[in-house]
Amino acid sequence: MGKRNRGSRQSTIWIATNDLPRAAAHPFYESLNRILDKAGFDTHVETLCAPFYAGVMGRPSLTPGRYFRLLMVGYFEGLDSERAIAWRGADSFALRRFLDLELPDTPPDHSTISRTRRLIDLETHRAVFTWILKQLAEAGLVRGKTIGIDATTLEANAALRSIVRRDTGESYQEFLTQLAQASGIKTPSREELARLDRKRKNKGSNDDWSHPHDPDAKITKNEGWAHALGAQGRACSRSSDGSGGSRDGARRR
């Protein structure tokens, strides 16, 4: 029976890279890299991102191909922060192969990923990922032709007092004040405005009111009270055999 050596051991000073243990490649990332390499991914994204990079200046930057591969890792593994993406890339030998990082290479940290994200505009991000999805769909790694949406209403952060009239742009408070003055109350108090508001009918029409910073927000009735509501949704992609994936999301409605 083998036993652990409890005595102190002197670490080896030099180790040949061929003698280092190698992790098995991740089959999904290996397939993905083969498809991207065959389609000329790195050359394509370097051409798209060329306007955002200087010539030869300072230390080497994070290459566009490695940056977008890091974003793909974050998406596929559900990592919602750049710190988590950077840690995952540094921790996994399989992902280092996907990112084309040799053993002596230092993986990009979260600040480098964040700076690169701010450097490249939204339209270029959209163009790159549209191109990637097209290549993956042609290779059969992405399936799904039908999108199903399931949602439930949630109270949003938007308050009713922040909505404005669609026709005049008046706030709810200004509108009530004008109604009170028209009824003979020259300087209405908050209690008088609240009393007047309770007596009004059809006061929560989405045809008349909108939110100035969120045009998609809607007013609805929930247990007799008017609320600005949002929707928590799940989008599911379904293929003909019933398989597919899903993504959660929230938007105010």
Same domain as 122, residue 70: yes
Please give the helix or strand (H or E) that residue 236 lies within, else none: strand 225-238
Query: Tokens standing for 68?
Result: 């977008």
Q: Is the pTM of this model over 0.75?
A: no
Distance CA 236, CA 248 (A): 9
Judge if 187 and 222 occupy the same domain.
no
- Range(s) of the domain holding residue 101: 22-139
Instruction: Calculate mean pLDDT across residues 143-168.
Output: 65
End-to-end CA distance of the chain: 66
Q: Is residue 245 part of a domain?
A: yes
Are residues 43 and 148 both part of a single domain? no
Residue 72 lies in a domain: yes
49 and 105, same domain (yes or no): yes
Examine the domain organization and report whether 65 and 117 are in the same domain.
Answer: yes
pLDDT at 29 exceeding the cut of 90: no
Residue 165 or 3, more confident? 165
The continuous run of DSSP H or E covering 10 comes out as: none
Name the residue with tokens 């398989």: 243
pLDDT digits (tens, 9 = 90+) for 110-135: 999 999 999 999 999 999 999 998 88
Whether 5 is in a domain gets the answer no
Give the model confidence (pLDDT) of 59-75 as tens digits.
778 889 999 999 999 98
Number of domains in the chain: 3
Which range of 69-73, 90-94, 148-152 scores highest in mean pLDDT? It is 69-73
In a domain, 73, yes or no: yes
Asked if residue 2 is part of any domain, the answer here is no
Q: What backbone torsions phi and psi does residue 6 show, to the nearest 5 degrees? A: -85, -5
Would you call 126 helix, strand, or coil by DSSP?
helix
Q: What pLDDT was estimated at residue 6? A: 61
Q: How far apart are CA 21 and CA 36, in angstroms?
A: 27
Is position 169 within any domain?
Answer: yes
Rama region for 180: left / alpha / beta (φ>0; ψ in -120 to 50; rest): alpha
Same structural domain, 97 and 205: no
Neighbouring C-alpha atoms within 13 Å toward the C-beta of 116: 23
Decide: helix, strand or coil at residue 123: helix
Residues 158 and 172 in one domain: no
Do 65 and 82 have their domain in common?
A: yes
Residues 50 and 103 in one domain: yes
Q: Tell me: do 159 and 169 sit in the same domain.
A: no
| 80 vs 212, residue with greater confidence | 80
Task: Compute the distance between CA of residue 55 and CA of residue 243 in angstroms, rounded to an integer.
Answer: 46
Q: Do 63 and 127 reside in the same domain of the chain?
A: yes
Residues 85 and 176 in one domain: no
112-to-50, 81, 134, 136 alpha-carbon distances in Å: 17, 13, 28, 27
Query: Could you write out the DSSP letters of every residue in 154-187?
Result: EE-S--GGG-EETTT--BHHHHHHHHHHHTT-SS
Lookup: tokens for 91:
């921790």
Q: What is the pLDDT of residues 100-112, one digit of tens each?
A: 887 778 888 999 9
Task: Give the separation between CA 196 and CA 226, rounded to whole angstroms.
Answer: 16
Mean pLDDT for the chain overall: 76
